């Protein structure tokens, strides 16, 4: 089971759209079982699938140990092969220090994933992380084996990569297996600033995915309709890019 955190300290870089796109390609094209975990108090992923925050167990209860004993009772099947562990605004109230003191604390999500893996419940787990450094994103980085870092090509984002790498190396003290699968250039379009930014990023000592995701109006359109762009506009540039990215990360679809 691969557990991948989609993470960047910066907001609005495409973490949630990337989570949804990968999840849908993996279930629909690759026939994989996927668990998506909404780690963000904004609840974008949760509302995308459910319309509203459910009155059931969410990630906050998993982190505080107030969840059901059997993992499957805590998740919601949102489409065939795709399970969601929802978020709630309770995540904003979770205090890192309190979690550290608590019995379950930051490793609760890791324990949860171990139960999923033992049951063969998912082939891939994707954590949609919030912007910034929160209790939930820390828990996700404790449980993940890999990180995908979506970025936009502007000076602040490229500079922010250094902070991201510091965060990852500090997480390695508690999760030595954690590695950066790659930085993902999102909203790529042909203009000097973007092309120069790409060049600068690719000269830095960090893995950058060969595949970029092009800027496409179909993406914001699809979020209004609560549809994955890869389903809403199969032939759009972003959809084609996400399918190629999936090949880069997970290999060719098996026949």
Ligand X SMILES: Nc1ncnc2c1ncn2[C@@H]1O[C@H](COP(=O)(O)OP(=O)(O)OP(=O)(O)O)[C@@H](O)[C@H]1O
Q: Closer to Mg ion at the Cβ: 15 or 214? A: 15
Q: Binder to Mg ion among 10, 15, 33, 67 (CB under 5 A)?
A: 15
15 binding ligand X? (CB under 6 A): yes
As separate numbers, helices (DSSP H) first and strands (DSSP E) second, the chain gives 12, 7
Q: Which residues, other chains included, contact 30 with Cβ-Cβ below 8 Å and sequence gap of 6+?
A: 246, 250, 253, 254
Least gap, CB of 62 to ligand X (angstroms):
20
> Closest-CB residue for Mg ion?
16
Question: Which residue do the tokens 């699938």 mark?
Answer: 49
* CB closer to Mg ion, 105 vs 150: 150
Identity of the residue, 116 or 149, whose beta carbon is nearer to ligand X in the bound complex: 149
Please compute, for residue 92, the number of CA atoms within 13 A of its CA located in the half-sphere on the CB side: 5
38 binding partner (options ligand X, Mg ion, none; Cβ < 5 to 8 Å by kind):
none
Indicate which single residue of 29, 56, 104, 223 sits in contact with ligand X (rule: CB under 6 A).
223
| Binds ligand X (CB under 6 A): choice among 63, 194, 219, 245 | 219
Q: Which of 4, 9, 13, 63 binds ligand X (CB under 6 A)?
A: 13
SS3 content of the chain, % helix, strand, coil (to 5): 45, 15, 40
First-to-final CA distance of the chain: 20
């Amino acid at each position: 089971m691969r557990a991948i955190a989609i993470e960047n300290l910066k907001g609005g870089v495409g973490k949630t759209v990337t989570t949804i796109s990968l999840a849908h390609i993996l279930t629909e094209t690759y026939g994989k079982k996927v668990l998506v975990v909404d780690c963000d108090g904004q609840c974008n992923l949760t509302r995308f699938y459910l319309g509203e925050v459910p009155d059931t167990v969410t990630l906050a209860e998993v982190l505080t140990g107030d969840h059901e004993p059997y993992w499957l009772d805590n998740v919601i099947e949102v489409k065939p092969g795709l399970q969601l562990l929802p978020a709630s605004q309770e995540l904003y109230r979770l205090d890192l220090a309190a979690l550290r003191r608590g019995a379950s604390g930051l490793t609760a999500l890791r324990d949860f994933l171990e139960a999923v893996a033992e049951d063969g419940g998912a082939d891939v787990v994707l954590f949609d992380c919030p912007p910034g450094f929160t209790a939930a994103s820390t828990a996700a980085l404790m449980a993940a084996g890999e990180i995908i870092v979506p970025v936009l090509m502007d000076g602040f984002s490229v500079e922010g990569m250094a902070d991201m790498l510091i965060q990852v190396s500090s997480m390695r003290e508690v999760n030595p297996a954690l590695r950066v699968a790659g930085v993902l250039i999102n909203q790529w379009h042909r203009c000097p600033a973007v092309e120069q930014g790409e060049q600068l990023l690719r000269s830095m000592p960090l893995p950058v995915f060969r595949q970029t995701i092009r800027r496409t109006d179909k993406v914001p359109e699809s979020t209004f309709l609560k549809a994955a762009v890869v389903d809403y506009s199969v032939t759009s540039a972003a959809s084609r890019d996400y399918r190629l990215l999936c090949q880069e990360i997970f290999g060719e679809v098996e026949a």
